[in-house]
Structure 1
Amino acid sequence: MERADMASTTSSIVSKLNLEMERQLLQLFPGPVRLHLLFQASTHGFSLHNLQGKFDNTGQFVIIVYLKRGEARGAYLGRGNWIYGNKFQKWFLFNLTSKQATSIPSESEAEADQGPWEYGNAMILREEHMNRTFFDVPFCVDFSSDEMYNTGWAEESVNNRDGSLTEVEMFRVQDVGDVLLYPWREMVWKESTREDLRENFVSHKVMSDSLNSARVLLLGPAGTGKSSFINSIRSVMLKRITHMSVSGAGAPDHLKKLKSISIQAEIGGPATSLTLCDVMALGEDEATGLSVSDARAVIKGHVPEGYKFQPGTPFSSQSIGYRAEPGIKDKIHGGLFFLDARKVTTYSDYLQERMRILQAELHYLDVPQIVLLTHVDQVCHAVQEDVKYVYTSRTVKDKMQKAAEFVGIPVSFVLPVRNYASELSTNCNTDILLLSAVHSILQAVDDTLDDQGV
């Protein structure tokens, strides 16, 4: 069993669970699993509140407490829903050293009373509030044997104040059934990768003497994250979460317009070689969304900036601002189709037909295109914890194949992304995935312009 790298949302965390101890622990499980570090007390704070914040009511988890004498003790909380209040259906305690792991099953049908911190009287995690200061929260663990568990543990209390308790960690247990041992696409998830991708983006020049920026059109149904993608790319470049109007169920007027957003290299800095062109979302029937004819007019460069699309009133040569002879700077040089990984198998046949027509139109006009599969973190637990598992997830791989079939292009043209939504700061691995998408579309534009000799 390969050891999985473990990371927090901001930087890598070195788990106290060494390789030999992990190997012993994994032998307690009936099938192959991986451990994904969610909580480390010395990093996230010695607090039950912080522990609870990393915990939810489904899935499989392991809690490990590390003692100064070199021994570790812990608990496994099995798959299942909460029942009878805060109680788990399947769980066991264990002893753990680098030489041996011993499972201690419950001798009672009773359930865990307090979720991830209380296991009968055998192991109880608590906070010691006596002599507590604002920055110093003593974290304690009480051990004993009781009728529910025949642990053989002598009654004792250990805490982090005197060093007898050195660490507490919680892991999500991920079945290898969904996460493959080896990725089907290689990606180096390091800070240096993010910086290299960002620097390449900033220094990139469009392969055409007539162009300073490649205009890339964003196409997709409502809710797929087109506007969020623009926000996310801006966040990557500015190294902070940015906020601009995004689409929603109501589709306000300004989101029915053709809006071109030039991506800056930094705050107040020069523009990069990428301009993202947002338009009205595609509809799932004839009465809603951007029409094929309007999309075609945008691709060919006939539609002026800021034009407001109106379903039922197609853009034509009689429309205000119509460009009869658009130049290369007015046209679209690349297309990004957006699909939601959660809905890729439930979209309407009409939407599929519309997207395939547009794909064929882009192909006919020698405009390269890529499909971005969004919300991949919502279809796989491992990816939700860290997007670096995106290319080892069976579920994501299957969704990417479905997206390729839906649009009618090879799966090699499908890229998974995770947009920033609720985050307050950027994340290295999320940035890498977003910048990889930018790199791919700019590379495709360059290859096409080079072939055309523009």
Structure 2
Amino acid sequence: MSSSGISTLDLEREDQLLKLFPEPVRLHLLYKFTEDRSKSFSDRFHGAGEFIVVVYLASGVARGAYMSKPPTNQGSDEKVFLFDVTTTNATKFSPPDDCKTALFTGSTLEFGKSLIFRKVDPPYFNWHVFFSSGDDFDTGWPDHFITSQITSGHAGFKDLELFRVSGIGDVLPSPWREVSWTESTREDFIESLVSHKVCVESLSSVRVLLLGPTGAGKSSFVNSVRSVMFKRTTHMPDSGAGAPGHKLRSSIIRTGRGGPATSLTFCDVMALGEAESAGLSVSDALAVVKGHLPDGYRFQSGTPCHNQSSGYRAEPGIKDRIHGVLFVLDARKITTYSDDLQKTIRTLQDKISDLDVPQIVLLTHVDKVCHAVREDVKYVYTSRTVMDKMQKAAEFVSMPVCNVLPVRNYAVELAPDCNTDILLLSAVHTLLQAIDDTLDDQCVSSTVE
């Protein structure tokens, strides 16, 4: 919800109110009595659009009405409805016909006899609000909403606000992947990562390699996962852009700053180039996957590693190898990546598959391709645009769509966001499950042999 000030409508009641609409919408605060009492209320109905007016009672109930067009003294609005909202419930009332014309005449906004907002001009700047439910007409208000009058000086009145209602657009009626966007979900994901144990006793941590073109968001993803665990945004150097000669860098994910290590380690390398002559080569990437190259190894474009390279491991152990690969791609660029990059990634995908290493595609910047997701990432699995980008990413790397995970990395934020955390942690959880399944199969196979 965007606004010119801080709304009295808290998140719990806002969530309940939004459930009254058949499609996802956003609310924009246009007028707030306690802050704008000396300003014109009528001027806030500028332009076409949908509006709701809400009055807040000290009891915790918010009551009001919805209009699908600005109130006028002509014509009816068949979409008008009345409502009351608490932190746990929202009720929608279909008003009688005389209420379906929202009238605004001078200082009075009325919905028939059901709901009347009357402005008292200077020096008081008060609103008188009338809720009626009588024998002569059926408003739909509950029986205990008897005819009443409240003003700003009344103990039962807290505030009055006007909102513009706008559609989010590009949103499907139901998600194609179910996610519970709650604080408890985030905490469950964090606990799952903290308590995760690798199924192979000789491994205390799994190593995950991030591969992708410049600017895709490899280093940002690592920083974002660290931010979730640290409960604050963190920043580390980027390994994929800038001058040639980038190092292989391992980042252990810890439970917090100075805390114990989790079982997850990310390995970041220089970016993949558009061709073998630029960026990380296929041979160097495979050398990392096989465990031949040590942490800190410096890559050189056009100069692949060999068995005489500094620190080269001729016979790497299971702790040295990569146990999972993330191909990181930018949702904004998925349709404009070059054929050379596609060829490089598909070659890597085929050769890494031969090594029996699980692979997942991480699709970043999904908030930059869909307005709804930019407002709140909880719409990521109902966005038509994101779904299309995920399908195109799957085609680009020649993998199933189920292997594509959308994420939003932290960029300018100073503090983590619950829904963004959940999306990031969901990707980590899926990755660890894929690695567990692969290692478990390998252990069973070696036992049988």
What TM-score results when the alignment is normalised by the length of structure 2? 0.72
- For the structure 1 residues 41 and 291, does the alpha-carbon distance in structure 2 shift closer, same or farther, using more than 3 Å as the test? farther
Indicate the residue corresponding to 1:99 in structure 2. 94
Q: Distance in 2 between matches of 1:60 and 1:385?
A: 19
Could you say what secondary structure the match of 1:350 adopts? helix
Unaligned runs of 5+ in 2: 1-5, 37-47, 71-78, 84-92, 110-121, 130-150
Q: Does 1:329 align with 2:314?
A: no
**Structure 1 residue 446 displacement after superposition:** 1.0
Indicate the residue corresponding to 1:174 in structure 2. 167
8 Å CA contact retained: 2:325, 2:358: yes
Alignment of structure 1 residues 322-361 onto 2, 5 Å: 322-361=312-351
Indicate which of 12, 15, 22 corresponds to 1:14. Answer: 12
* Further displaced range: 97-106 or 196-205: 97-106
- For the structure 1 residues 364 and 171, does the alpha-carbon distance in structure 2 shift closer, same or farther, using more than 3 Å as the test? farther
Indicate the residue corresponding to 1:242 in structure 2. 234
* Further displaced range: 275-284 or 314-323: 314-323
Residue type of the alignment partner of 1:99? S
Cα deviation per residue 1:299-328 (whole Å; 9 max; x = unaligned)?
111112111111111111122221111111
Indicate the residue corresponding to 1:228 in structure 2. 220
Q: Does 1:394 align with 2:392?
A: no
8 Å CA contact retained: 1:62, 1:76: yes
Could you say what secondary structure the match of 2:172 adopts? coil
Q: Does 1:258 align with 2:256?
A: no
Cα deviation per residue 1:111-166 (whole Å; 9 max; x = unaligned)?
xxxxxxxx99999xxxxxx99xxxxxx999999xxxxxxxxxxxxxx869987662
Q: Does 1:285 align with 2:283?
A: no
8 Å CA contact retained: 2:52, 2:165: no
8 Å CA contact retained: 2:231, 2:416: yes
Could you say what secondary structure the match of 1:337 adopts? strand
Residue type of the alignment partner of 2:11? I
Indicate the residue corresponding to 1:207 in structure 2. 199
Q: Distance in 2 between matches of 1:326 and 1:271?
A: 23
Q: Does 1:431 align with 2:424?
A: no
Indicate which of 52, 55, 78 corresponds to 1:66. Answer: 55
Q: Distance in 1 between matches of 2:439 and 2:56?
A: 63
**Structure 1 residue 285 displacement after superposition:** 3.2
- For the structure 1 residues 122 and 345, does the alpha-carbon distance in structure 2 shift closer, same or farther, using more than 3 Å as the test? farther
8 Å CA contact retained: 1:339, 1:374: yes
Q: Distance in 1 between matches of 2:155 and 2:363?
A: 50
Cα deviation per residue 1:98-120 (whole Å; 9 max; x = unaligned)?
434746699xxxxxxxxxxxx99
What TM-score results when the alignment is normalised by the length of structure 1? 0.71
Indicate which of 285, 305, 315 corresponds to 1:295. Answer: 285
Q: Distance in 2 between matches of 1:17 and 1:305?
A: 47
Residue type of the alignment partner of 2:167? Q
Q: Distance in 1 between matches of 2:228 and 2:292?
A: 31
8 Å CA contact retained: 2:23, 2:173: no
Q: How many residues align?
A: 377
Q: Distance in 1 between matches of 2:232 and 2:80?
A: 43
Q: Distance in 1 between matches of 2:423 and 2:125?
A: 37
Unaligned runs of 5+ in 1: 1-7, 27-31, 49-58, 79-92, 107-118, 124-129, 132-137, 144-157
**Structure 1 residue 63 displacement after superposition:** 5.7
**Structure 1 residue 282 displacement after superposition:** 1.0
Residue type of the alignment partner of 2:343? E
Percent identity over the alignment is 56
**Structure 1 residue 284 displacement after superposition:** 2.0
Indicate the residue corresponding to 1:4 in structure 2. none
RMSD of aligned alpha carbons: 4.2
